[in-house]
Amino acid sequence: MNAENLPEFEGPMCPLPLPHSEQILLGHGSGGKLMHDLISQVFMPPLHNPFLAQCDDASVIPILDELSATPSVRLAFSTDSHVVTPLFFPGGDIGKLAVCGTVNDLAMMGATPRYLTAGFILEEGLEVEVLTRVLHSMRQAAEEARVLIVAGDTKVVEKGKADGMYINTAGIGVIEHNLYISGNNAQPGDVILLSGTIGNHGIAVLEARQELGFSSHIQSDIAPLNTLVEALIHGGIRIHAMRDPTRGGLATTLNEIAAQSKVGMLIHEEQIPIQPEVASVCEMLGFDPLYIANEGVMITIVAKDDAPAALEVMRASKYGTQAAIIGEVLETPVERVLMKTAYGSTRVVDTPSGEILPRIC
């Protein structure tokens, strides 16, 4: 497969093109509707290809060894840039985030993460001691995730830009199973599991910004999820889709999968794991925890019969002790996520339009 034999992009992917006079807003980076519009209307027309069109956390690419003419190896390949502010927050920092973010994107395709690159954009005047702390954190996270950082790049920009540092990571994972795992593959009847409690990361970053007005002791959930994924795959679970609900939170990510798979979903509010402290802070600040970013939690959608075994495997894994079955995939309403609330009513859980909490990853 090369650029020459790609299908041409066929017309606009959305009926309402973003006017070209428009400017980028903070909300275009939010994970919500604005970002989806930017991607479908601005990024996709020039860059469209079958890999990008999958809209998964990583692309699955075939590598044919033409020299030895051996069969193709399937790799997952992904990237994330990290612009979190501040650089350090309860439970983690930008370095741990940069490693775990890409490790998790690869793991969500069922790949075993192997190699990372790291591209640093440093602000003139950054203390070398701060950079050193971030690098040690990256090393520690990489060791836990059993990945190697094999290539890097450093640029420096003038004081006042880049908020200390931005870090991009890209990663390669090897796919060693024959499952088809994709946001396109949630099927009616499937069961939806969540590996841990929601909202911790976003609230921890807010705390670090001293925007809470009090001290909450809430830690980010940031963690590499590849061991948990490997346990599911080795456990023989028929995984149909996996995704980590980062920007835009659980609500946005479930809506993404519902749209990609053209299915409906019903989740049960009382079954969604959340720490009481996180629930309290969200209530006080008027946030819906369904929309708060997570960095160490994953949605797993599995064949119905495998759900009890999947839950057991998850709960036995370090980052899955709070795992729960939170809902099921429906045939209708297509591309809609419904939630049975604690009060027994049913409401639509929509994709947010713009920014809830900017710069959280």
| 3 state DSSP class of 273 | coil
* Contact between 128 and a copy of itself per CB under 8 A: yes
* Span interacting with a copy of itself, options 173-181, 214-222, 252-260, 300-308, rule CB under 8 A: 173-181
- 114/336 with CB nearer a copy of itself: 114
Q: Least distance to a copy of itself from the beta carbon of 170, Å?
A: 3
* Contact between 176 and a copy of itself per CB under 8 A: yes
What is the identity of the amino acid at 272?
Answer: I
Q: Which letter does DSSP use for residue 100 in this model?
A: H
- 153/312 with CB nearer a copy of itself: 153
* Span interacting with a copy of itself, options 122-130, 236-244, 266-274, 295-303, rule CB under 8 A: 122-130
Among 100, 107, 111, 172, binds a copy of itself (CB under 8 A): 172
CA distance 133 to 146: 20
Backbone angles phi, psi at 108, to 5 degrees: -65, -15
List residues bridging with 88 in a β-sheet: 93
* Contact between 222 and a copy of itself per CB under 8 A: no
Size of the site for a copy of itself (CB under 8 A): 99
CA distance 201 to 249: 10
- 328/355 with CB nearer a copy of itself: 355
- 56/269 with CB nearer a copy of itself: 56
Closest alpha carbon to 109 in 171, 53, 175: 175
CA distance 151 to 223: 22
Q: Least distance to a copy of itself from the beta carbon of 24, Å?
A: 4
CA distance 21 to 36: 18
* Contact between 223 and a copy of itself per CB under 8 A: no
* Contact between 303 and a copy of itself per CB under 8 A: no
Q: Least distance to a copy of itself from the beta carbon of 69, Å?
A: 10
Among 189, 213, 236, 358, binds a copy of itself (CB under 8 A): 358
- CB–CB of 267/337 below 8 Å? yes
* Contact between 7 and a copy of itself per CB under 8 A: no
CA 226, distance to chain mean position in Å, is 13
Q: At 42, list the tokens.
A: 């601005």
- 8/343 with CB nearer a copy of itself: 8
| 3 state DSSP class of 228 | helix
Among 89, 100, 114, 295, binds a copy of itself (CB under 8 A): 114
Angle between helices 276-285 and 200-208 (to 10 degrees): 60
* Contact between 215 and a copy of itself per CB under 8 A: no
CB-based contacts of 69: which residues, under 8 Å, 6+ apart?
Answer: none
CA distance 327 to 324: 9
- 22/331 with CB nearer a copy of itself: 22
* Contact between 202 and a copy of itself per CB under 8 A: no
What is the identity of the amino acid at 228?
Answer: L
Q: Least distance to a copy of itself from the beta carbon of 335, Å?
A: 22
* Contact between 3 and a copy of itself per CB under 8 A: yes
* Contact between 10 and a copy of itself per CB under 8 A: no
* Contact between 318 and a copy of itself per CB under 8 A: no
Residues numbered 11-50 forming contacts with a copy of itself, rule: CB under 8 A: 18-30, 35, 38-39, 42-43, 46-47, 49
Residues numbered 130-169 forming contacts with a copy of itself, rule: CB under 8 A: 131-132, 135-136, 138-139, 142-143, 146-158, 160-163, 166, 168
Task: Tell me whether the omega of the peptide bond preceding residue 86 falls within 30 degrees of 0, making it cis.
Answer: yes
Rg of the Cα atoms in the chain: 20
* Contact between 83 and a copy of itself per CB under 8 A: yes
CB-based contacts of 185: which residues, under 8 Å, 6+ apart?
Answer: 240, 241, 261, 301
* Contact between 88 and a copy of itself per CB under 8 A: no
| 3 state DSSP class of 172 | strand
